[in-house]
Structure 1
Amino acid sequence: MLRNCGKFQTPIRLLSTVQKIDYKLNPNDIPGDATIFSMVQPTGTFHLGNYLGATRVWEDLCALKQPQQKLLFGVADLHALTIPKPNVEEFRRFRNEAIASILASGIDPSQASVMYQSSIPQHSQLHWLLSTLASMGYLNRMTQWKSKSNIKQSTQDDAAVGNVKLGLFSYPVLQAADVLIYRATHVPVGDDQSQHLELTRHLAEQFNKLYKTDYFPLPKTLLAPTRKILSLSSPERKMSKSDPDKASLIYVNDDPHAIKKKIKRAVTDSITDRFNYDPINRPGVSNLLNIVSGIQRKPMEEVERDVAMMNNFNDLKNYVTDVIVEELRGPRELFARFMKEPDYLDTVVTRGTEEAQQLADQNYREIANIVGL
């Protein structure tokens, strides 16, 4: 893996900055004094990819939390506005559902601070300071603003690039500020966010070098053990709520009937004498096996052995359905309960915001002093 440095490329510190966590965390994976931070966007109820790729790891971290560790998990509502949300009431509902989904996934608010990004103004304040260190060239190499703007990676179309909004172009700097305002040491994310964590480390290094300090730690990327969950109908793409085909994704609060119907319609292939993990030649089947592997916390070799005796897609899909239904039973019931308890959600967010605000305020005062403000 390479990092661009001007016109040269140098190896990044892969072993020291990226840690692939196992299917089940153990206490030795994370230092006892770690500060762990992560957020999800408020797109409403979580889907299976959100659950396996992010929040279930958060649940593990809560369960193994040591006394000196800090856990901060949030809803990235400022990031969500990089794509304008003119339906304000829907956006507010999505924010609320995101909090309910976080708690339904097993995150314990007595162990972790749960908050809205927008409630902590120091995120935006640090964003400005870091933006004075972030070069246009580095940001131009980031991939997500191009994909969200439907711009090809190699395009030189000045008109298309000229229509990109500044917030969308610079939001990786805000992501860096989200992490660094808490001086986070570890950030659990999916592999599609690794590029943004490398920018975060780059900006932390730039700040430390410029001001001759070691104030910001270089946060380590904690890669979730589950491979990216793909669309059930188009397994060349990741599972996403923006997909117009709503049968392509499974929501955490889908009932068993809906899950069975969606898995039954999932794209597979014409090979029925064996079911093996081969994402290049059998992407649909591999996606189903990957889901089972993630839920059961099993290596793919074990999953393949479990399905080796099946010789038709009906058996395979019934098996996958049963695994998903059983896994999501608890989160589905908790989500429904929390959505009926808005006062409880408000209490959780208020407490989490106060805890995060105290840390962010303390750190920003120190940062401001370093830069001469």
Structure 2
Amino acid sequence: MSRPSCPDGPRLCWDACGMKLHGPLTVASGPLTSKLSLLKKAAEACAGAASLKLTFITPPFHAEMRSFSVHDHVILSPTEKRLALHEGVELCRSAKRETALAIWANFTGAGADEWFRLSEAFIDAGADGLELNFCCPNLDTSSSGPGVRHGAAICTSPELTAKIVRDVRRRFTQIPVMPKIVNNTHLFRDVAAAAADAGAPAVHVVGQPVSGAPPVNPDTLKPLLPFAEGVSFGSTNGSVCLCNTLRSVAEVRSAAPALQVMASGGITRWEDCVSAYAYGADAAAVCSAVMWHGWERLKIISRGLEDYFRRKGMSGPEAVRDTALKLLTPPSELKLNPARARIDENACVGCGKCAKVGHCEAITLVDRKARVDETACISCGVCRSLCPADAILYDDDPRYGSGK
């Protein structure tokens, strides 16, 4: 069967994390990569690669996806479906046969035998890379017995991280091996360095999906988790993760400069990709943004990146990489420049939202126009974020010195 092309997609191509990508974005492992019909949509939306839904030899329990959703972030139940080995392998084989996507096989094991068996099965199915999942929460034990470490539990141990990476790399030298890690421990830098020392050419860094619980309906006093009896903790995913993703990328880049880095968690715009590159990422992966806004979001981000690099005269992420990383400074040594808010009176609609900010005493309404006491402004930026008319300026805005 012929593979679908993406004729209206971006022309950006580059090598990242051991793969040649024919599009700037990877679809991160999750509901979007759990079945062939969705992977075909990823290819049609010009994704360069996809990381398949997490696979086990045998999932530790049967589950279906349930979630409590708030705009742009999702609290996922730990009962989200994972794939058994035969399901993951068949999905990989079908995706390679019927799409042009580069495929990362995403899996976790318990002991060397399981890691080897999973790796060999996915290589035979045509996977382009092995993504060793040291990331997903709620997987510290399994049916294999108490004390067996899966997922995020591995990421708390530099020694275990190094052992698994080294064992898989030595056994399977013909394919890229990329650990997927999460910043869930004070040893995170050590984990990244251990992966590099063990021979990993790249890591997939995920912004910490903070564990949470859904709110409670005050009338029924039951959690707002649809179609479920009882409640479980879940991971908060989406734009809320972005700042942690950027920090995690910077920490990995600082601890192991030779590692290539794929970043995911909260990336919803092309500007988020540029931010990730600036802190040290080589590639970016997207999931929640597509779940909320549809597959067209991949094209929007990709075209935005293409336009940005063209406008800047840059060939790709390597021209941006580490520019923000080089500016990292301890808080005690930050030099703070004055940056006071001003009002574009022609744009101000007098709604008063800026004057209601709880901690701010710098803004008042005079004749239905906002006024700023610059001596009281602390440059927090909350007013600018709230303004529906884009009427609040800082000195990074070209209108700032226009006399308005």
Same fold (TM over 0.5): no
User: Normalising by the residue count of structure 1, what TM-score does the alignment of the two structures yield?
Assistant: 0.28
Structure showing greater radius of gyration is 2
Bigger proportion of residues as strand: 2
Bigger proportion of residues as helix: 1
Compare relative contact order (CA 8 Å, sep 6+) and give the higher one, 1 or 2.
Answer: 1
